[in-house]
Amino acid sequence: MSAGALSPLAALRRHWPEYAIEGWALGMFMVSASLFTLWFEDPASSLNHAIMNGDVRRALIGLAMGITAVLLIYSPWGKRSGAHMNPAVTVAFFSLGRIEAWNALFYVLAQFMGGSLGVLLVWHLYGDAFAAPPVAFIATTPGRAGNGAAFVAETAMSLTMMLTVLTVSQHARWSRYTGVFAGVLVASFITFEAPLSGMSINPARTLASALPGGMWHAIWIYLTAPVLGMWAATRLYILANPKPGCARLCEHSADTPCLHCGYAP
């Protein structure tokens, strides 16, 4: 019986480990993003003084976050849940029918909770150094080009990310590297696009930073553009390649069944 045919309580009992993994994964991503931003951007940091060029620091942060994403995606736990780490990714897969309704709901709830807990943990450990500018809870806000540019950029990045994931994951030769492609895009977006929008493409990631600091400026961009962009990617994908697939950013685990497609080792 599929999870979609179960009651919410039954789905929780059966698949709570996968839900917990999704929360853990985004939480760890937020901890990593927070720490690397602190180390490179805090004016009191020795790395900040050693690397005076802000573009270089941002590129190094992007590289670190791309590597973090890849490590989480290919970790044993990431392989179990499929490593969405992003409500927009989960909604996109749901729109393709690749994830059941209750699984999608609990994935999204876990992602929001895990991301928030990751930010709160770093705030507890580092206090004002993390809360005060320029780090400022690593909040994502529009750059000097304004809200319109930020919305377009977030939508375009989200579309690019999801279309890449869907396309590469269906390629016989390259499917095993889907998570690597995703990590490269994360690193590239942070390096080159962050001045426009702060580079989110993840509603849970943005909300996790906005909540403790009360930074709600243009929050609508980050709650809508990633979902819109990734949904648009699914529509483009099925027009050209309507193949069934699994809601994963990595290959199936050799010893763990998949709650999305029914794969069993």
d(CA 58, CA 90): 28
pLDDT at position 255: 80
Q: Tell me: the pLDDT tens digits for 108-155?
A: 999 999 999 999 999 999 999 999 999 999 999 999 999 999 999 999
CB of 5 closer than 8 Å to CB of 17? no
The answer to whether 138 and 209 have CB atoms below 8 angstroms apart is: yes
Question: pTM of the entire structure?
Answer: 0.94
Query: Could you identify the residue written with the tokens 């553009």?
Result: 225
Q: Where are the domains of the chain?
A: 12-240
Residue 258 has, within 13 A of its CA and on its CB side, a CA count of 22
Report whether 177 contacts 183 (CB < 8 A).
Answer: no
Q: Which residues of 67-93 are buried (b: 16+ CB within 10 A; e: fewer)?
A: ebbbebbbbebbbbbbbbbbbbbbbbb
Half-sphere exposure of 135 (CA within 13 A, CB side): 26
Superfamily of domain 12-240: Glycerol uptake facilitator protein. (1.20.1080.10)
In this prediction, residues 215-244 reach a mean pLDDT of 92
DSSP 70: H
- Which pLDDT band, with edges at 50, 70 and 90, does 2 fall under? very low
- Distance between CA 203 and CA 128 in Å, rounded? 24
pLDDT at 200: 98
